[in-house]
Structure formats: structure tokens, C-alpha cells
């Protein structure tokens, strides 16, 4: 797989490719098949929509008991972010101390390498959030 295609797939999967409903302009992430507002009117009218990757912290919490995948990173901060497109994403917040996080803080999506599986060499990527200032 070439790099541009790989990068695009990573972005679709992790950075937020949603859909925009043409009749009403609502954006959904993850993508939906039907707009609950327009229902039948939205069928065939949902277009791919790339989120800008910026938003504001709604709530946050510090996690001390790790899930398996996050074993190496305790404690870490999980946030719910209201994206500029009015959809919510959940993810890990990095590059900031827990004490410095506050509701309304402006954050952006960043793609980080999460780990590598041996011996196949599969590399995992995922999105995280970081402060924009």
C-alpha cells in the first residue's frame, strides 16, 4: 500500500470522515446511512464530510485503571470533545497536565503511533487530542 493511500485510510478511520446531510446540513460522525431529521429525504444525499479536527473539551477525566491497550500510559486523560461541526468525539488528551485541563479548552486531533505488533510489523495508529495553544 502506498503512503498517500495509507494516510488517507488512517485519516478516514481516525481523524474523522463523517457525512453531511445535503437537505439540512447536519453532520454526522461516525457516518450514518440515514439522517434522522430528514429520514427518507436524506437517502442518497449524504455526502462525505471531513471534520476540521478542532473542537472544545466538554468533559474530561483522569484514568488510573488502564484498559489493556493503554497499559503503558497510566494515568492518562480521556476527554469528550465537541467538534466545530457539532458532533462529539471521545479520545485521549495528550501534551497537557491534568491540572491544566478545563472545560471549553480548545483542542485538535493529532495522529499518533500507538504501537507495533510483532512479528508481522503491523503498526497501529490512532487519534488523540492535544491543546491548540
Indicate whether 24 belongs to the interface with Zn ion (CB under 5 A): yes
Pair 22, 45: CB distance under 8 Å? yes
Q: Name the segment binding Zn ion (CB under 5 A); options: 11-19, 28-36, 87-95, 105-113.
A: 28-36
Q: Which is nearer to Zn ion, 35 or 93 (CB)?
A: 35
Pair 87, 18: CB distance under 8 Å? yes
Pair 29, 51: CB distance under 8 Å? yes
Minimum CB–partner distance for residue 37 and Zn ion (Å): 4
> Alpha helices of the chain — where are they, by DSSP H?
3-10
Q: Quick one: how many helices (H) and strands (E) in the chain? A: 1, 8
Q: Name the segment binding Zn ion (CB under 5 A); options: 14-22, 61-69, 70-78, 110-118.
A: 14-22
Minimum CB–partner distance for residue 55 and Zn ion (Å): 21
Q: Which is nearer to Zn ion, 41 or 131 (CB)?
A: 41
Q: Residue 17 CB: number of other CB atoms within 10 A?
A: 17
Site for Zn ion, rule CB under 5 A: 21, 24, 26, 35, 37-38, 42
Amino acid at each position: 500500500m502506498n503512503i498517500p493511500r495509507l494516510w488517507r485510510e488512517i485519516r478516514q478511520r481516525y481523524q474523522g470522515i463523517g457525512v453531511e446531510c445535503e437537505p439540512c446540513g447536519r453532520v454526522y460522525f461516525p457516518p450514518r446511512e440515514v439522517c434522522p431529521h430528514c429520514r427518507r429525504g436524506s437517502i442518497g444525499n449524504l455526502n462525505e464530510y471531513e471534520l476540521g479536527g478542532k473542537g472544545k473539551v466538554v468533559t474530561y477525566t483522569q484514568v488510573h485503571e488502564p484498559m489493556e491497550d493503554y497499559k503503558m500510559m497510566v494515568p492518562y486523560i480521556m476527554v469528550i470533545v465537541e467538534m466545530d461541526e457539532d458532533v462529539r468525539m471521545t479520545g485521549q488528551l495528550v501534551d497537557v497536565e491534568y491540572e491544566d485541563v478545563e472545560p471549553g479548552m480548545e483542542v485538535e486531533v493529532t495522529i499518533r503511533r500507538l504501537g507495533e505488533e510483532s512479528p508481522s510489523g503491523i503498526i497501529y495508529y490512532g487519534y488523540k487530542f492535544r491543546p491548540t495553544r
